[in-house]
Amino acid sequence: MVAGDVSTEPTQAESDQVEFTAFHPAHKADPYRNYGQVRQTRPLCPFMLGDIPVTVVTRYADCEAVLQSDDWVHGYDAGISPFREGNASAPRSFLRMDPPDHTRLRGLVNKAFTPRIVNAMEPRIRAHADRLVADARATGTLEVISEYAAPMASGTLGQLLGVPDDVGASLRGWALAIARGTDPDNLLSEDELAARKKATLDFHRYFEELIAQRRAHPTDDLVSKLAAARDRDDALSETELLGVSSLMVVAGMETSINYIGSAVLTLLRHPDQLALLRERPELLASAVEEVLRFDPPTQFTMRTAARETEVGGRTFQRGDGVLLVSAAAGRDPDAYAEPDRFDITRFHGPTPARRHLGFSVGIHFCLGAPLARIEAASAIGALLAGSTHLELAIDEGELVYLPSLIHRALATLPVRIS
């Protein structure tokens, strides 16, 4: 199987029915058109994910129902998942575990990853963003992904986990290789699998040492708190601690980087909304949410039927796999008025729009959401406060997305800033 070989573009002669082709490289720039056609005509659409037959779910109500139902699981532990997950070099993170293991680990992590820890990080995160913007203004240009989003994300995770600044940059390299490896294994090339394995080993070697140091000399970072986290007699084992630390980086790095890329590009494409946000900074929190609905960094997630069950009028059997395309659900006209309009006021005021699925819902709801929101608001807030003019420094047609399917990731985003 060639990496990324997950769909072909059927000609009209081959099929009268709309096919799910959003993963085709030609649709990378705009998967939303195809999502919309599929949602309208085949909301539960059969699809070959490489050699795995799955159903693509695109309606908001169906995605939400699956995410909230215990009829649907990951199923790796029970051996029923059709999605092969083979990062044998990594302990499985609780992102892909089911209860009761998921419940236990998430509960222990929740004890350490408290709102107090997260809120205390805000001033440093914002100061970092302000510094990066001031540097960019001095040169007049900013490559948003490598010079803004990546340092913001590695700085934030480094601060959270107590990783010194000089190692923070390595976190991104590791996370990039591991994040590509979060697409189903059968879609990855040999080179990508090898890069993921090397990054995982390097990453673990570093974190094993860090954990040992923090056990011996605790500080107030998350690794020290995780090492100390206890629930009655329960605590995280050494392997679990490693798994949780790496999950934070894998779950929190590329998502945050891609979020910032998406937010800046979307605002540049909607100058009226950009101007409105400059005028009314109180809309920042709503704008952060609207980006997660409109062009979310995590496009879909996967689940497996634990037993015979029904969704959207269709019966699924135990072991059947679904791709829940939350990015398509965000544009569902049954869930949002004028869903293709980017509207930064949508989540503001006494009657905000329905919650988006950008952080998922149900038991796997993003554990880092409060931190992600602070980081997102700081990044956008600092960029607007520190500039009077922003514009794309290349043609739209030159924008390139990385090959990942789950992550919607701009390779670069050069802008002019003054």
Q: Which residues bind ligand HEM (CB under 6 A)?
A: 94-95, 106, 160, 247-248, 251-252, 255-256, 259, 296-298, 301, 358-360, 364, 366-368, 371-372, 376
State the maximum Cα–Cα separation within the chain, in Å, rounded to a whole number.
68
Query: How far apart are alpha carbons 136 and 148 in whole angstroms?
Result: 9
Alpha helices in 181-237 (DSSP H): 190-216, 222-228
3-state secondary structure of 417: strand
**Residue 95 vs 413, nearer CB to ligand HEM:** 95
What's the CA angle centered on 336, arms 333 and 337, to 5 degrees?
80
Residue 16 C-beta: closest distance to ligand HEM, Å: 34
Q: By C-beta, is 19 or 126 nearer to ligand HEM?
A: 126
User: 184: buried, middle or exposed (CB in 10 Å: 19+, 13-18, 0-12)?
Assistant: buried
Q: Which single residue brings its beta carbon nearest to ligand HEM?
A: 368
Write down the least CB distance from residue 363 to ligand HEM, Å.
6
From the CB of 255, what's the least distance to ligand HEM, in Å?
3
Cβ-based nearer residue to ligand HEM, 173 or 362: 362
What are φ and ψ of residue 281, in 5° steps? -60, -15
Q: Looking at beta carbons only, is 19 or 383 nearer to ligand HEM?
A: 383
For the bound state, the minimum distance from the C-beta of residue 222 to ligand HEM, rounded and expressed in Å, comes to 8
Q: Nearer Cβ to ligand HEM, position 160 or 405?
A: 160
Strands 414-417 and 141-143: antiparallel
Minimum CB distance to ligand HEM smaller for 19 or for 409: 409
CA distance 276 to 98: 43
Nearer to ligand HEM, 19 or 171 (CB): 171
User: In whole angstroms, how close is the CB of 103 to ligand HEM at the nearest point?
Assistant: 9
- Of 14 and 234, nearer to ligand HEM (C-beta) is 234
Distance (Å, rounded) from C-alpha 319 to C-alpha 280? 49
Residues belonging to the chain: 418
Question: What three-state secondary structure class fits 98?
Answer: coil
Q: State in angstroms the smallest separation of the CB of 81 from ligand HEM.
A: 13
CB-wise, 94 or 148, nearer to ligand HEM? 94
Collapsing DSSP to helix, strand or coil, 117 comes out as: helix
Helix (H, G, I), strand (E, B) or coil at 393: coil
Please report how close the Cβ of residue 248 comes to ligand HEM at its closest, in angstroms.
5
Any idea what DSSP says for residue 401?
Answer: B
Cα–chain-centroid distance for residue 262?
A: 11
Q: How far is the CB of 352 from ligand HEM (least distance, A)?
A: 18
* DSSP 8-state code for residue 71: T
The strand pair at 321-324 and 52-57 is best described as parallel
Q: Which is nearer to ligand HEM, 193 or 324 (CB)?
A: 324
CB of 202 to ligand HEM, least distance (A): 20
Return the closest-CA partner of residue 89 out of 202, 12, 175, 6. 202
Map residue 53 onto helix, strand or coil.
strand
Provide the minimum distance between the beta carbon of 7 and ligand HEM in the complex, in angstroms, as a whole number.
21
3-state DSSP helix/strand/coil % of the chain, to nearest 5: 50, 10, 35
H/E stretch holding 141 reads strand 141-143
How far apart are alpha carbons 132 and 276 in whole angstroms?
23
Quote the CA–CA distance of 352 and 346 in Å, as a whole number: 6
